[in-house]
Amino acid sequence: ALGGYGFVAGEQYAEFKAGDRVAEYGLAALVLGGAAAVATKTGFGKALIKFIGIGVVALFGAVAAFFRKFARRTA
């Protein structure tokens, strides 16, 4: 099929032996990655990112207000 291309000796699929190292993520990671891509395309991912961003901004505002409250008392 592809001229001039070959696998490294010992790394062909047919040469797999029990105990060889394999990727840990496997099929589950591929499915989750595909689901994330679909969510982004449908707009759900964008809405989720916007929601998380608003939450982060609100959290920083609350922390800033908390520290401002104590800064006024000591001054």
- At 20-64, the pLDDT tens digits run 777 667 777 777 888 777 777 777 777 888 888 999 999 999 999
pLDDT for 62 equals: 92
In a domain, 5, yes or no: no
In a domain, 68, yes or no: yes
Provide the residue type at 64 as one letter: A
In a domain, 65, yes or no: yes
In a domain, 6, yes or no: no
Overall pTM surpassing 0.75 (yes/no) = no
In a domain, 4, yes or no: no
CA distances from 11 to 8, 14, 27, 52 (A): 6, 8, 20, 44
For 43, the domain range is 13-74
Rounded CA-CA distance 47/18 in Å is 45
For the chain, the domain total comes to 1
CA atoms within 13 A of residue 26's CA, in its CB half-sphere: 4
pLDDT for 58 equals: 94
pLDDT for 13 equals: 76
Out of 7-11, 12-16, 21-25, least confident range:
21-25
In a domain, 43, yes or no: yes
